[in-house]
Chain A
């Protein structure tokens, strides 16, 4: 096994998807840690999340550069082209996810200075768990090339919205009841909004995976699962 020969085309594609998977893992950890820093009022963890965001930015640039290089030098077509393009798209979504996680962590730092608001941070934690789960599912779908898994993430986006609406009302009630909680409540409101948008990015990723596997897009009517091919002839890294 000579490590110094020129890498083959297949290796380069593999490397690209592997980088995206790694970036996904990092983004997942950022979201989970950000939510945990809110729930546990963990200042050190929140600071770590804020710092680690640079790593995601670096990975994003790296993936973009590699993808452009691959397109320029190898001129991929068909599924290889879709794979390259979706790597670029996923990198953007994951980078945005990371930014939102950093924003949550920054707000966690501010919240930690005030009084604990246990029932509210608990609601944020619940929503955070839900969103983290969706992000994990969609990245599992990406690395495993599982279309129905991606579709199921895509078609259950309502759940996050429901949670957001319910949290919104809860926070409003709280803030109206006790104006001293308005400052903390506003931060929690933005956190909820950020989580909701992370959920949207997971949905975007699901759409990208659908495009990568089938070549078609899934705008408009949410597709019934039975209308899609049940066994896509797609290999994770061919």
Chain B
């Protein structure tokens, strides 16, 4: 940080000017007070004047100090006050701990793009832009043309600009570029990046939710009102038909309920997607729990679920969400299995990223649906769910995690149709856990889904600055 301990050259003049203003204001008030004491009959007027002068002095001093006192430690006007003047180390610590990313950028020549360098960056900025050292070239850490233009205008046009920046991992930032007056003919600008993702995401989610919900609820709703019409009309006195219709209506109502629940849970997961989970979960234990919980359903359908593999595999994650991933995958596998079929579930610990996505079926179409950031040292635990159902053609695989996507000619469940959101939910949860998801399928032989999560003992898979270069 070359510039941190180097106060701006105009600082002493500024503070002495403030000091003079303060002193003369004080003298004026004192004189007025003295005159008021000597001439009691004019006292109200003079006291008012003294108060006005004191107020004016304070007003003159206050905004200046606020504007300049932050960046430069200004000498205290009253030496006897007990509060110590903020020293350079305190200012630096404060700067470092700011949650917004703050960068100071020097200009160089206007036509030389390599001349824009980051002379000062706080921790948030270094982590965000992966700046490795002082004096990094700005364009090598931040390439967005709109932000670069805003910085240029702040540097050479002395114009303050606020622009939007869509950064890494689909996050939105508001970038404030502000000229930094520092004299000496050296162009400096400060760039503050504030995270705006949550606000945007909320807005987007509301729109998405409304669109999805209204579109998907329309069909069951239409069928409900159709049955109600019929029940009111000619089926009124037919107890057999009435019972049958009521059964269908109750199934439709169930479906609507599940749809709303799934949409809500998808929205909630998306909202948290950029916050990595902090808990620890044993994948093997979670798997057996899910299989136990689903035993009623599997028994009804006559499908056998076999669990094998590691007895213990602790991953970093949120238990409820990981349970939901396993549950959705097994649920799907059971749905697509024929009566009396079999679903194999295997938990495998300590895999590298490549091993986790490796082929498990010969002659299959295989596709990673979600790949974590490549990190050779990361180790994963995987849950592999295999059904022996109809399988899918290759062209369907890339779109499986799309909301409401359905493979043509396949009907899931029959009596318990899915919402079309299960795999979308799985994908978002796995993404939040920085894990991966892969699918393999052979027509008429079955499908394998592999979801893998980083092991809790391993290195942090993302975000560790200085890991390369």
Which chain A positions have C-beta within 8 A of B140?
A: 17-18, 21, 143-144, 236-237
Q: Which of B391-406 contact A (CB under 8 A)?
A: 395-399, 402
Which chain B positions have C-beta within 8 A of A21?
A: 137, 139-140, 143
Verify if A65 is at the interface (C-beta below 8 Å from B): no
- Evaluate contact between B114 and A18: CB separation under 8 angstroms: yes
Verify if A225 is at the interface (C-beta below 8 Å from B): yes
- Evaluate contact between B112 and A15: CB separation under 8 angstroms: yes
Q: Mark B344-388, 1 if CB is under 8 A from A, else 0.
A: 000000000010000000000001100100101000000000000
**Chain B min CB distance to A84 (Å):** 14
Q: Mark A1-30, 1 if CB is under 8 A from B, else 0.
A: 101000000010011011101101110110
Q: Mark A84-127, 1 if CB is under 8 A from B, else 0.
A: 00000000000000000000000000000000000000000010
The verdict on A28 contacting B376 (CB below 8 Å), with A11-B114, A19-B113 known, is no
Q: Which of A216-238 contact B (CB under 8 A)?
A: 224-226, 230-231, 234-237
Q: Mark A40-78, 1 if CB is under 8 A from B, else 0.
A: 000000000000000000000000000000000000000
Measured CA separation A151–B397 after assembly (Å): 24
Q: Could you say which of A21, A32, A169, A230 has the most chain B C-beta atoms within 10 Å of its C-beta?
A: A21
Which chain B positions have C-beta within 8 A of A139?
A: 143
Which chain B positions have C-beta within 8 A of A14?
A: 114, 137
Q: How large is the interface on A (under 10, 10 to 19, 20 to 34, 35 or more residues)?
A: 35 or more
Stretch of B42-50, B144-152, B275-283 lying at the A interface: B144-152
- Evaluate contact between A22 and B469: CB separation under 8 angstroms: no
Which chain B positions have C-beta within 8 A of A159?
A: 367-368, 398
- Evaluate contact between A146 and B137: CB separation under 8 angstroms: no
Verify if B248 is at the interface (C-beta below 8 Å from A): no
- A22 CB contact (under 8 Å) in B145, B367, B371: B145
Q: Which of B81-116 contact A (CB under 8 A)?
A: 108-109, 112-114
Measured CA separation A226–B146 after assembly (Å): 38
Measured CA separation A143–B140 after assembly (Å): 5
- Evaluate contact between A22 and B108: CB separation under 8 angstroms: no
Measured CA separation A224–B376 after assembly (Å): 11
- Evaluate contact between A236 and B139: CB separation under 8 angstroms: no
Which chain A positions have C-beta within 8 A of B402?
A: 126
- Evaluate contact between B148 and A148: CB separation under 8 angstroms: no
Verify if B141 is at the interface (C-beta below 8 Å from A): yes
Verify if B166 is at the interface (C-beta below 8 Å from A): yes
Which chain B positions have C-beta within 8 A of A15?
A: 112-114
Q: Could you say which of B140, B145, B402 has the most chain A C-beta atoms within 10 Å of its C-beta?
A: B140
Which chain A positions have C-beta within 8 A of B108?
A: 3
On chain B, the number of residues with a Cβ less than 8 Å from chain A's Cβ atoms is 33
Measured CA separation A30–B316 after assembly (Å): 38
Measured CA separation A159–B370 after assembly (Å): 10
- Evaluate contact between B113 and A22: CB separation under 8 angstroms: yes
Which chain A positions have C-beta within 8 A of B113?
A: 15, 18-19, 22
- Evaluate contact between B374 and A148: CB separation under 8 angstroms: yes
- Evaluate contact between A144 and B469: CB separation under 8 angstroms: yes
Which chain A positions have C-beta within 8 A of B141?
A: 143
**Chain B min CB distance to A120 (Å):** 13
Which chain A positions have C-beta within 8 A of B469?
A: 144-146, 234-236
The verdict on A225 contacting B374 (CB below 8 Å), with A19-B113, A165-B395, A169-B395 known, is yes
- B109 CB contact (under 8 Å) in A3, A19, A29, A230: A3
Verify if A163 is at the interface (C-beta below 8 Å from B): yes
- Evaluate contact between B354 and A224: CB separation under 8 angstroms: yes
Verify if B468 is at the interface (C-beta below 8 Å from A): yes
Verify if B130 is at the interface (C-beta below 8 Å from A): yes
**Chain B min CB distance to A37 (Å):** 15
4 further A-B contacts with Cβ under 8 Å, apart from A3-B108, A149-B468, A225-B374, are: A28-B144, A156-B368, A156-B371, A159-B367
A-B contacts, 19 of them at CB < 8 A, read A3-B108, A18-B140, A22-B143, A22-B145, A22-B148, A25-B139, A25-B142, A25-B145, A26-B143, A29-B145, A143-B139, A145-B469, A148-B468, A159-B398, A162-B398, A165-B395, A230-B376, A234-B469, A235-B469
By a beta-carbon cutoff of 8 Å, the part of chain A in contact with chain B is: 1, 3, 11, 14-15, 17-19, 21-22, 24-26, 28-29, 32, 126, 136, 139, 143-146, 148-149, 151-152, 156, 158-159, 162-163, 165-166, 169, 224-226, 230-231, 234-237
